[in-house]
Structure 1
Amino acid sequence: MEPDAGPDAEPLLFSARCAVCGLSGPAGPDAGATSRWMLAHLRSRPGHVSFREIITRPYRAVPDECR
């Protein structure tokens, strides 16, 4: 198994979830947008200081290595 970096691979996606209330930001290919969402969430909810980063990374099987 290896990360799929081929031209037809699904995109790498980043998101974040507030560990206090469970709200999640939008998933997208821009990791910076995840940080911006966390900061905006913190500004609107000052007590929510714990977050989880969620990364969705496509993988593919390499047939010769699966044996």
Structure 2
Amino acid sequence: MEPDEGPDAEPLLFSARCAVCGASGPAGPEGGTASRWMLTHLRSHPGHLSFREVITRSYRAVPGE
């Protein structure tokens, strides 16, 4: 197995999840998407201080390895 970096590979995606309530933000190709969502969520829920970054990366199987 290896990261799929071929021309038809899906892009790397970043999102965030609130560790307090489990709410998740939208995924986007840049880490700023997750950061903006965390700040917005924090403003709405001042007691929610713990978050998880979620990174989605495509992998592919390499025959013979």
Q: TM-score, normalised by structure 2?
A: 0.91
Q: Which amino acid aligns with 1:43?
A: R
- C-alpha displacement of 1:61: 1.2
Match in the other structure for 1:51: 51
CA RMSD of aligned residues (A): 0.9
Task: Please state if 1:25 is matched with 2:25.
Answer: yes
Q: TM-score, normalised by structure 1?
A: 0.89
> 2 CA distance for matches of 1:55 and 1:33?
12
Match in the other structure for 2:9: 9
Percent identical pairs in the alignment equals 82
Equivalent residues, number: 65
> 1 CA distance for matches of 2:45 and 2:6?
40
Flag structure 2 segments of 5+ consecutive residues without an equivalent. Answer: none
Flag structure 1 segments of 5+ consecutive residues without an equivalent. Answer: none
In the TM superposition, structure 1's runs of 4+ consecutive aligned residues that sit over 3 Å from their partners are none
Cα deviations by residue, 1:23-44 (Å, 9 ceiling, x for unpaired): 1000111111101110111111
